[in-house]
Amino acid sequence: MTDAARYVKFVECSDEDGAFVGQCPGLIGPCCHGPDESEVDRELCQIVEDWVSLLRIVGRPLPPPTAGKYVSRLIA
């Protein structure tokens, strides 16, 4: 499992403009959007991979993972 896979990722439909919005709570907020849900998901996954890599390169610790057994508690 990659470090990026340890974070929950969401793609939601925006009521405001009907576009899909991707974010990764705990790591990065809304960071990509577009009309195609699958494309936004692919873009979001790439952004999370890049963000994790950047944190490692600059020597910053990764936030605690959000994927796993108690995800619903973290979201609430």
pLDDT tens digits, one per residue of 2-28: 899 999 999 999 998 999 999 999 899
What are 70's two structure tokens?
Answer: 């108690």
Report the CATH number that the domain containing residue 50 is assigned in CATH.
Answer: 3.30.160
pTM recorded for the entire structure: 0.85
- Report the number of distinct structural domains present in the chain: 1
Indicate the residue type of 65.
P
**Exposed, middle or buried: residue 52 (CB in 10 Å: 0-12, 13-18, 19+)?**
buried
State which residues form the domain around 63: 4-75
pLDDT (tens digit, 9 = 90+) per residue, 31-68? Answer: 999 999 999 999 999 999 999 999 999 999 999 988 87
Mark out the alpha helices in the chain (DSSP H runs): 37-57, 71-75
Considering only the C-alpha atoms of the chain, give the largest distance between any 2 of them, rounded to a whole number of Å: 38
Q: What is the pLDDT of residue 66?
A: 87
